[in-house]
Amino acid sequence: MRIDPRMPPYEDCVIPALLDRRAREAPDQVFAVFEGGKVFTHAALQGEVRRCAAALQQLGVRQGEHVLCWLPNGPGAVVITFALAYLGAVYSPINTGYRGGLLQHVVQDAGAELMIADASLVPRLADVATAQLRRVVVCNGEPPAAWPGLQLLREDVLRADPEQLRPPERAICPWDTLGVIYTSGTTGPSKGVLVSSVQVHQNYLSNGQWTADDRALIALPLFHMAGVGLAWSALMRGGSFAMVDSFRTQDFWDKVRQTGATNTTLLGVMCSFLLKAPATPADRDHPLRRAMCVPLSDQHAEFTRRFGVDIYTAWNMTETSSPLFAGPSPGAPGTCGRPRPGVQVRIVDDNDCELPVGEVGELMVRADMPFALSHGYHRNPEATARAWRNGWFHTGDAFRRDEHGNHFFVDRLKDAIRRRGENISSFEVEKEILAHPGVRDAAVVAVASEHGEDEVLAVVCPVDGGAVDCEDLVRFLQPRLARFMVPRYVRVLDDLPRTPTNKVQKHLLRAEGLAAGTWDREAAGIVLERERFGRVS
């Protein structure tokens, strides 16, 4: 296959070619380690993937077809992810916290006829319109006896004779869509980001932090690019990964030791949580050598001194491929880094005119390599055109840069909130709050957390002559929102501050922050239960 010399070689980035190559050249090398002791060598993974791919093909999945995956992390979810890539089909994951309107939007936008879902999640489909969806393979439990409009299948349909596997209709290319990763929908409904193999390759291999000797610890879900991207890229770089169900401060270092992880990503408060844990004689008794800390903690030097781990940082979003990068031990406090080789960035005003050093504007990005950035939004040409105007990708984030070329994140231009490693759409939260019969108006903004990230503040206005019971509002939201989206703080006002054109002045609400009378869910003793799921095996 003739490919532009700027592109990574076909055999270095296309999943089917890579999987077969690794199984042929290093069949017994460990590729994936899971909690509970399960291990995939390259050869074992190839066998499982081919069996699953053959089964998916028998279910009618063809090259280029989108398949919804609604699964918690685990060996089975990894196999399904790679099996779809092996067929040239498109992996379309759903956040396991989604329900109601958020779930319905993704199901409808994906346009998929087949879903593979955890048994504990399937009942949520009863409350949504399922669009083109026709069949659901139910994993980790028995499917319901009957379901109007849907055919429910047991997970044993996901294994078939690999000898019956047919080759794709055409060669799978590095620029083909590998997955559709849904954003948090910060300014409206979630958008499906089209991700190629080239983009994954550039995201994780372009800066040299990840090597063939590394075992990456994945503690983030496979519906996030920071989760599934690490799994895909481990195959590309020739290394391995260890997957755990979640990040927990109390057993993080034990999991690092048990899995032999050498590299990981620490999002937001994770670094803070680990530093606040009591020091022990075993603080340096582990194999972890490097960590990507995003955003960069003010305590990164202390983290390195205490744990012996080199800290790197970067700025990225699902649509890009880590265009800003710094490390080890970034010297400029709070930096997101400098542009990596192969990308150009600019900080611009509302007319895309470049701003001088020190001034705040929107960050724009473009890359020298074709398909190193997302190639658009699924079924949304209008959003694609808006993001890519004037030949640059517009990030929607406000930045400034210093005279040394260091770039600093200032704010999200469109009111996104980031809490415990999750991006939250204020639009989506507001929509569910407004469904409460006692709420007339609502605005959701970020307020500072004691751990350096955001907490969610909901400012609500009661219906005329009524009142809002804050605890009742939280209870109302619990079944409607993912756990991480439920507001911690609620403030009740008669009216929201608005402009003459009737837009809410959220900057005023942010500036007022936790004003007198703000109700605190945690201070009220309301604990939101963590959702637990079985594993796909």
pLDDT in tens, 96-137: 988 888 899 999 999 999 999 999 999 999 989 999 999 999
- Encode 178-236 in three state secondary structure: EEEEECCCCCCCCCEEEEEHHHHHHHHHCCCCCCCCCEEEECCCCCCHHHHHHHHHHHH
Is residue 399 classed as helix, strand or coil in its secondary structure? strand
Q: Assess whether the region 15-166 and the region 424-520 belong to the same CATH fold.
A: no
**Residue 370 clears pLDDT 90, i.e. is over it:** yes
Fold annotation for 215-412 = Rossmann fold (3.40.50)
The token pair that represents 263 in the structure block: 């590299």
Cβ-based neighbour number of residue 537 at 10 Å? 14
The token pair that represents 505 in the structure block: 């002045």
Q: What is the mean pLDDT of residues 200-205?
A: 95
The model's confidence at residue 474, banded by pLDDT at 50, 70 and 90, is very high
> For residue 258, what are the contacts with CB-CB under 8 A and spacing of at least 6?
none
Residue of 268, 270, 275, 208 whose CA lies nearest to 239: 208
Q: What is the mean pLDDT of residues 137-142?
A: 96
Q: What is the mean pLDDT of residues 366-374?
A: 97
Q: What is the DSSP letter of 354?
A: B
- Encode 29-45 in three state secondary structure: CEEEEECCCCEEEHHHH
**Residue ranges of domains in the chain:** 15-166, 215-412, 424-520
Q: Rounded CA gap, 453 and 423, in Å?
A: 11
The token pair that represents 52 in the structure block: 């699953």
Q: Rounded CA gap, 178 and 191, in Å?
A: 16
> Nearest 5 degrees, angle CA 467-CA 471-CA 477?
100
The model's confidence at residue 501, banded by pLDDT at 50, 70 and 90, is very low
**pTM higher than 0.75:** yes
Percentage of residues of the chain with pLDDT beyond 70: 95
Q: What is the DSSP letter of 463?
A: P
**Residue 481 clears pLDDT 60, i.e. is over it:** yes
Tell how many helices (H) and how many strands (E) occur in the chain.
14, 26
Q: What is the DSSP letter of 49?
A: H
Contact 94, 64 (CB under 8 A): no
Q: At what angle do helices 100-110 and 426-433 cross, to 10 degrees?
A: 130
Residues 207-256 pLDDT 10s: 888 889 999 999 989 999 999 999 999 999 999 999 998 888 899 999 99
Residues 266-315 pLDDT 10s: 986 788 789 888 899 999 999 999 999 988 887 899 999 999 999 999 99
pLDDT value of residue 423: 75
Q: Rounded CA gap, 64 and 370, in Å?
A: 20
Is residue 327 classed as helix, strand or coil in its secondary structure? coil
Return the CATH number of 424-520, one of 3.30.300.30, 3.40.190.10, 3.40.50.10260, 1.10.490.20.
3.30.300.30
Q: At what angle do helices 225-237 and 15-25 cross, to 10 degrees?
A: 50
The token pair that represents 42 in the structure block: 């390259």
Q: Rounded CA gap, 229 and 207, in Å?
A: 15
Residue of 257, 315, 267, 273 whose CA lies nearest to 291: 267
Fold annotation for 15-166 = Rossmann fold (3.40.50)
